[in-house]
């Protein structure tokens, strides 16, 4: 299994000379099975350079799994060049949206309204299929099995566990770990605390045997109180989670767009120091920052 990062920023693309080392495109991750099966996690602006690379492989069969419908995770979809090439097969997977009472097809329909984009889906020449999927129900594509797990975000958000060829990877999409925000004096504090702990145990159990964790690590612990409820995690929280799971590698991603490369490295180093993180000691995995072009060969 190969994993390649094409977009690593969160919220909005941040191109320019100050983000050149890690990249300015929003979320997109390519996963290849040993049999060549192509899985794409999210369709942020990073899917555009991926699509240019894929033009060398025509015709292709692509399986695009959308974590959630926020703009930075879908805005590159209309610019996915293989959609316009006859003979290509593209299947788009994602959650049912209770607010619109629609499946994943709603995402493309909204983006491709004439007010926002000049080309309709009917004009795209690839074979396009939309498949609405359900949490905890695995989907098999080629040699890979993709399992959606419900995580915490202001809208429905699937994290995806990808298993295949004896290896496993989990990508959170956007995720703010469950937190008991009630006061200890609140009569419901104890019950809610038990529920929070149960949610964490349930997710940890679903990630048993995981090799690589790719986690939303947008903020630092110091920044988090002012971002409470925004739906994102912290570097320190991701490090503690990876250690608890016993994974081999943690990739911190969804970088805060206002942070340039230098600032990103500074807060990352500080988080490692705060956590007393030494790779290989006390079950600590290797921890890296995601960057465009990062490739993991598992």
Q: Is the peptide bond preceding residue 161 cis, with omega within 30 degrees of 0?
A: no
The residue among 289 and 101 whose pLDDT is bigger is 289
Query: What pLDDT is attached to residue 277?
Result: 77
Share of the chain above pLDDT 90, in %: 86
Nearest alpha carbon to residue 112 among 122, 103, 125, 100: 122
Q: Which stretches of the chain are DSSP H helices?
A: 47-54, 105-111, 189-206, 235-245, 261-274
Residue 35: domain span: 2-297
Span 51-109, pLDDT tens digits: 999 999 999 999 999 999 999 999 999 999 999 999 999 999 999 988 788 899 988 88
The CATH number of the domain where 130 resides is what? Answer: 3.60.15.10
C-alpha distances in Å from residue 119, one per residue of 58, 103, 115? 21, 21, 10
Mean pLDDT throughout 271-285?
81
Query: What is the pTM assigned to this prediction?
Result: 0.96
Count how many domains the chain has.
1
pLDDT at 122 over 70: yes
When computed from its CA atoms, the radius of gyration of the chain, rounded to whole angstroms, is 19
Task: Indicate the pLDDT class of residue 279, thresholds 50, 70 and 90.
Answer: low
Task: Indicate the pLDDT class of residue 158, thresholds 50, 70 and 90.
Answer: very high
Q: Helices 235-245 & 261-274, crossing angle to 10 degrees? A: 50
Task: Indicate the pLDDT class of residue 280, thresholds 50, 70 and 90.
Answer: low
Span 20-36, pLDDT tens digits: 999 999 999 999 999 99
- The dihedrals phi and psi of 8, each to the nearest 5 degrees, come to -135, 0
Query: What pLDDT is attached to residue 288?
Result: 97
Please report which helix (H) or strand (E) contains residue 252, including its range.
Answer: strand 249-253
The residue among 168 and 116 whose pLDDT is bigger is 168
Q: Which residue has the tokens 């590698």?
A: 249
Span 204-263, pLDDT tens digits: 999 999 999 999 999 999 999 999 999 999 999 999 999 999 999 999 999 999 999 999
């Amino acid at each position: 299994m190969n994993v390649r990062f094409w977009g690593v920023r969160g919220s909005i693309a941040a191109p320019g000379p100050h983000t050149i080392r890690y990249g300015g495109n929003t979320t997109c991750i390519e996963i290849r099975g040993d049999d060549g099966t192509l899985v794409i996690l999210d369709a942020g602006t990073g899917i555009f350079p991926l699509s240019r690379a894929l033009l060398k492989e025509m015709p292709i069969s692509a399986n695009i799994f959308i974590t959630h419908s926020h703009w930075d995770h879908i805005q590159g979809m209309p610019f996915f060049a293989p959609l316009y090439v006859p003979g290509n097969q593209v299947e788009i997977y994602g959650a049912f949206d209770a607010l619109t009472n629609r499946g994943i097809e709603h995402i493309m329909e909204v983006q491709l309204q004439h007010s926002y984009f000049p080309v309709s889906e009917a004009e795209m020449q690839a074979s396009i299929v939309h498949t609405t999927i359900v949490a905890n129900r695995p989907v098999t594509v080629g040699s890979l099995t993709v399992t959606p797990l419900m995580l915490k975000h202001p809208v429905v958000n699937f994290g995806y566990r990808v298993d295949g060829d004896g290896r496993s990877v989990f990508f959170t999409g956007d995720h703010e770990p469950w937190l008991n925000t009630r006061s200890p004096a609140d009569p419901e504090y104890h019950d809610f605390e038990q529920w929070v702990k149960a949610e964490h145990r349930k997710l940890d159990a679903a990630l048993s045997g995981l090799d690589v964790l790719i986690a939303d690590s947008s903020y630092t612990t110091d920044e988090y109180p002012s971002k409470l409820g925004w739906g994102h995690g912290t570097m320190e929280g991701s490090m503690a989670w990876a250690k608890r799971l016993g994974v081999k590698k943690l990739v911190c991603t969804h970088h805060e767009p206002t942070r340039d490369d230098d600032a990103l490295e500074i807060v990352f180093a500080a988080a490692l120091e705060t956590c007393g993180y030494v790779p290989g000691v006390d079950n600590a995995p290797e921890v890296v920052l995601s960057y465009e072009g990062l490739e993991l060969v598992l």
